[in-house]
Amino acid sequence: MLFALGTKVRLRHSRETGVVSRLMDAGMVEVVLDRDQLNIPVAVDDLLPLEEAPRAFPKPADLRARAPAHLLSGKGILLAFLPGEAEGEFLVVLANDAHTPVAYSLEKRRKGHAPTRVRNQLGAGEIHPLGDFFFDELNDQPAFHVQCWEKKTEGTGSALENTLRIRPKTFFRKQEDLPILGRRATVYVVGCFEASGTKNTEDLRQYTRERLNELPEAREDYLRVDTDLWEVAEFNPVIDLHLEALVEDPAAIPPQDILRLQLEHFERFIQKAYRLGLERVFVIHGLGKGRLRQAVRQRLREMPMVLEFNNDYHPNYGFGATEVIFH
């Protein structure tokens, strides 16, 4: 996309707004940020025009596909991405790979775009097309929030809910052959209704809390859960990037290596915080000449897991820290 001088834009990763002030080479432009009037170079792919309207998200087509009963595997409700005719284009479908009919509500979310929603009913073996999906949308941290309810003669029964985050790193690892689709696709499992009822998210959390108290104290291998509870409990959500807080002997670090060392600690901290599932963290960089602060902000703009960040006044850190909020 081309941007003329004076175009009002929004940065994809930080949600900051500004104005294009200079055209540069190699797909770059210079933007004056509205918030602090800083001039920063930005790749045009990382910008959105403020007036850009969200892409339409069509409702399920009237003509619905249905797989025969013998092809159903019982996996449950699936969100699948079928390769399209053009490279980098996919058709998104919601499929019921089970014998239980459901009612569903689905919301598609993309950074910088208004959410789009659809509601419908999905019979056993039915497949609903939801619209096109383009590979470059992976840069917008797309997510699909899905709620499903069992359809019974007396009304709706058990419910399940899941938010599927579509990440570039794992997108193609989720490919598999699905009999009900008759082709290979990238597949995400929303959930499955059991014959005796559905264990929804709250049921699972309650079950985990009850079972956690029964774990033997000396068996560390019992604590190897996905989010590693001990790591989360011990992780400090604040990192101080002042050199004296990072190394025992700051005087031993050559001046030309200081910024590189600080950014290495910063990136490891952000990656671990995101892996542990933290919602937000604080990065203390101080005031000074602002070199470290600007380097941290630039790295944050390049990190797809970062929803937004700000340098608002904090009672403990003043203006010397940046709050980072994850997707």
Tens digit of pLDDT for each residue in 222-252? 233 334 445 666 778 899 999 999 999 989 9
* 138 burial level (CB within 10 Å; 0-12, 13-18, 19+): middle
- Per-residue tokens: 282: 């604080």
The residue assigned the tokens 């834009």 is: 9
CATH topology of domain 231-326: Ribosomal Protein S8; Chain: A, domain 1 (3.30.1370)
Residue in the structure block whose two tokens are 């989720």: 174
Over residues 25-80, the pLDDT tens digits come to 777 888 888 877 778 888 887 788 775 434 433 333 433 467 888 888 888 999 99
> Model confidence at 152, in pLDDT bands (50, 70, 90)?
low
Report H helices in the chain.
Answer: 168-171, 201-212, 229-234, 243-246, 255-275, 291-301
Residue located via tokens 């990238």: 186
Cβ-based neighbours of 8, under 8 Å, separated by 6 or more: 17, 18, 19, 49, 50, 51
pTM: 0.43
Exposure string of 152-175, with b = 16+ CB inside 10 Å and e = fewer, is eeeeeebbbbbeeebbeeeeeeee
CATH of 8-49, one of 3.30.160, 3.40.50, 1.10.1900, 2.30.30: 2.30.30
The predicted pLDDT at position 267 comes to 92
CATH architecture for the domain at 65-205 = Sandwich (2.60)
Residue 315 per-residue DSSP state: T
Domain spans of the chain, in order of start? 8-49, 65-205, 231-326
179: left (phi over 0), alpha (psi -120 to 50) or beta: alpha
Q: What is the pLDDT of residue 60?
A: 35
| Cα separation, 95 vs 92, whole angstroms | 10
Beta-carbon contacts of 205 under 8 Å, excluding residues fewer than 6 positions away, are none
Q: For residue range 188-213, what is the model confidence (pLDDT) as tens digits?
A: 999 887 544 444 444 444 544 554 45
